[in-house]
Amino acid sequence: MKKLLVLFLLLASYSGFAQLADLDRVEPMFWFTKMHNNKLQLLVHGKNIAAKEVSLSYPGVTLQKVNKVENPNYLFLDLQISPQAKAGKFNIAFTQKGKKQLRYVYELKDRDTSANRIQGVSQKDFVYLLMPDRFSNGDLSNDVVKGLQETALNRDSMYYRHGGDLQGLINHLDYLKDLGVTTVWMTPAIENDMRKASYHGYAATDHYKIDPRFGTNALYKQYVETCHAKGLKVIKDVVHNHIGLNHWFYNDLPMRDWLNQWPAYTQTSYRDQPVMDPHASEADKKKMLDGWFVPSMPDLNQRNVYVQNYLTQNHIWWIEYAGIDGLRLDTYPYNDPEFMADWALKLKAEFPHLSVFGETLVNSVAAQAFFTGGNTVNRGFDTHLPGITDAVLKDAIYEGLNGKTGWVDGINRIYATLAQDFLYQDATQNCIFLDNHDMSRFYSVVGEDFDKYKMGMAMLLTMRGIPQMYYGTEILMKNFSAPDGLVRSDFPGGWPSDKVNKFIATGRTAQENEAFNFVKTLANFRKNSLALQNGKLMQYVPEQDVYVYFRFMPGQTNGTVMVIINNSDETKALNTRRFAERMGTATKAKNVLSGKELNNVETLQLAKKSATVLELY
């Protein structure tokens, strides 16, 4: 009986018996004039909407085609918008003989052509990653929203909502700016109306709506504008691969192949190798790409042209609407490769300065480089993906700090990893990091060793690439990803009831302030160092657990940054004659971390387990 009931409900939702309004939604709900691509495809959803005739009349807007699909509750309208079309509102009419005419008032808005509105992110920047639910609660009134699936607010559990929101983040932008942060990246803020673990943002249930427990679309736009006014940039986290099980269109699919369907539930293998393996079976490749990420996250079929249009237009809409500077692409290797290449081209055409990097949690430099742009020989096409999240360099830094020295082990792993940068078209566009919301925190992985912490942070903030730091690292937040997920703990002081406030110096311990000031010193130095912002990297083979590299502007000595990592348990006297090629005529230096001037750089005294950052002149 239960199976029959489930079958009836599925058929009912697919046959127009679901409790739908006659005109439930039109997406995108509005669009913009003077876009590079003059075509727009509207998704229309409503009870038996396919039975209606569609018409519109507005100068410069042409209804080219009405697409009917398997589910009669959907229409896909192909519009063409001429370059001469002006901002304004017009009716889209849905007419059926003997029925009341339905109308949707559609709006074209003027595109915002302000100079430098969408700035892009580069090596000049320092990215701060946070989870809005766990950072700060600035609006207690939206902690619980009636009508949503999850109404529990429980800060004692890592799997329920804690109440953090957009207003809380806005309230602490000055804290980030003082720290030296230039760019804010938060995990997805769009609606996740899931029964459990709805806080993390990666199970979307409405692509065009900010989750009401975080705020509103208008508040998100205000957040971006406030960041820009303070000289901060914004990265938006987007998910192509999957949605949440409670997504509104999952409950009434436009067509069966809107999702990757299997005879029985099939989970992805999580193995990236079949995507690049010239010897791989098609079955393994299909399982990797089309298998569901987890049972609660249905896998979108990106070979479906309607899905392609929907995702591409949604991302363009958010960028234009809010003025976002960059995108981080979740689970990049799990997406359809050809679609992602086409997507990248279309976004670049609309926003030439937009920055994009893809999450690639893989195990080798070659595997990371395989997904980046310019690798046409091996792929047969260009992905047009500028950069990736450099997990391999992260692992190398951990090995350098925690491992025992060997030919390619210990500190030598860092050197060997960077030596493979020739595989990338431009390694400087990779996002480098030490941890994030999906892995154990950096301070715990190095055994809460403060010397290792400082060495790691020094490398993060002086290495090639775009540095990203996970929230709370600056105050030594710790914990492991398993078994209880405490890596996603609240930032102390972000809630009115918190007993300590680590957003201010008086709320931090002496060591937490030392860590905060260490990060602050290097991050603010970056803002004025051309070598770190735009310079090249030269590294030297480590010797006796000492690793030396330089960031420099070709043809210049002054301003060159010399970084020395002494991973030894002994103090060292480092003779610098070996580095004459890069040090050039420099005879003096400033110690960036201590502020002290060095009048002689022929021999440098290195403390054990230490990082030294010098600006040469």
Output the domain CATH number for residue 13. 2.60.40.10
CB 601 within 8 A of CB 497: no
CATH code (residue 601): 2.60.40.1180
Residues 518 and 546 in one domain: no
Give CA–CA dist 336/307, Å, rounded: 12
Give CA–CA dist 526/122, Å, rounded: 12
Sign (positive or negative) of CA dihedral 115, 119, 125, 127: positive
Among all chains, which residue has been given the structure tokens 């602490």? 172
Residue 24 pLDDT > 60, yes or no? yes
Residues 485 and 568 in one domain: no
Residue 116 pLDDT > 90, yes or no? no
Residues 105 and 134 in one domain: no
Neighbours of 608 (CB within 10 A): 13
Helices (H) and strands (E) in the chain, counts: 18, 26
Residues 605 and 553 in one domain: yes
Residues 472 and 551 in one domain: no
Residue 6 pLDDT > 70, yes or no? no
Token pair listed for 159: 């799997």
Complete DSSP assignment for 271-333: --HHHH-TT--HHHHHHHHHSBSBTTBPBB-TTSHHHHHHHHHHHHHHHHHHT--EEEETTGG
CATH code (residue 296): 3.20.20.80
Residue from 244, 358, 359, 356 nearest 293 by CA: 244
Residue 547 pLDDT > 80, yes or no? yes
Token pair listed for 601: 């750089």
pLDDT for 2 equals: 35
Question: Is residue 115 assigned to a domain?
Answer: no
CB 452 within 8 A of CB 567: no
Residue 279 pLDDT > 50, yes or no? yes
pLDDT for 377 equals: 83
Residue 7 pLDDT > 80, yes or no? no
Residues 297 and 175 in one domain: yes
Residue 17 pLDDT > 90, yes or no? no
* Residue 290 bears catalytic tag: no
pLDDT for 34 equals: 97
Amino acid at 172: H
The pair phi, psi for residue 342, each rounded to 5°, is -65, -40
User: What angle (nearest 5°) sits at the alpha carbon of residue 137, between those of residues 135 and 142?
Assistant: 130
Please give the average per-residue pLDDT across 131-153, as a whole number: 96
Residues 316 and 380 in one domain: yes
| Catalytic-role residue among 150, 272, 359, 615 | 359
Give CA–CA dist 150/78, Å, rounded: 37
What ranges make up the beta strands (E) of 35-145? 39-45, 53-56, 61-68, 74-81, 88-95, 102-109, 127-130
Residues 498 and 556 in one domain: no
Parallel, antiparallel or unpaired: strands 326-329 and 355-358: parallel
pLDDT for 10 equals: 39
The pair phi, psi for residue 34, each rounded to 5°, is 60, 35
Please give the average per-residue pLDDT across 397-405, as a whole number: 97
Residues 32 and 74 in one domain: yes
Residues 489 and 598 in one domain: no
What pTM, to 2 d.p., does this model score? 0.96
Please give the average per-residue pLDDT across 178-196, as a whole number: 97
pLDDT per position as a tens digit, 53-72: 999 999 999 999 999 999 99
Question: Is residue 114 assigned to a domain?
Answer: no
pLDDT per position as a tens digit, 355-371: 999 999 999 999 999 99
pLDDT for 299 equals: 98
Complete DSSP assignment for 355-378: EEEE----SSHHHHHHTSTT-HHH
Give CA–CA dist 165/142, Å, rounded: 8
Select from 476, 505, 527 the last residue of a domain: 527
Q: Which residues touch 494 (CB under 8 Å, ≥6 apart)?
A: 134, 135, 136, 137, 164, 168, 172, 503
pLDDT-based confidence at residue 458 (cuts at 50, 70, 90)? very high
| Catalytic-role residue among 330, 390, 490, 615 | 330
Residue 9 pLDDT > 60, yes or no? no
Instruction: Write b or e for each residue in 458-478: b if 16 or more Cβ atoms lie within 10 A of its Cβ, otherwise e.
Output: bbbbbbbbbbbbbbbbbbbbb
CB 381 within 8 A of CB 341: yes
Residue 487 pLDDT > 70, yes or no? yes
What SS3 class is residue 540? strand
Output the average pLDDT for the chain. 95
Residue from 561, 563, 536 nearest 549 by CA: 563
**Residues facing residue 294 across a β-bridge:** 297
Neighbours of 275 (CB within 10 A): 20
Q: Domain limits at 580? A: 538-616
pLDDT per position as a tens digit, 235-245: 999 999 999 99
* Residue 139 bears catalytic tag: no
Residues 249 and 278 in one domain: yes
Residue 278 pLDDT > 50, yes or no? yes
Select from 527, 559, 587 the last residue of a domain: 527
Q: Number of folded domains in the chain?
A: 3
pLDDT-based confidence at residue 433 (cuts at 50, 70, 90)? very high
Question: Please, how many CA atoms are within 13 Å of residue 268, restricted to the half-sphere of its CB?
Answer: 25
Residues 509 and 559 in one domain: no
Amino acid at 486: L
CB 569 within 8 A of CB 590: no
Please give the average per-residue pLDDT across 21-36, as a whole number: 97
Sign (positive or negative) of CA dihedral 329, 333, 335, 336: positive
Helix 305-322 vs helix 217-229: crossing angle, to nearest 10? 50
Give CA–CA dist 194/202, Å, rounded: 10
Give CA–CA dist 286/139, Å, rounded: 44
Select from 109, 142, 170 the last residue of a domain: 109
Residue 322 pLDDT > 60, yes or no? yes
What SS3 class is residue 58? strand
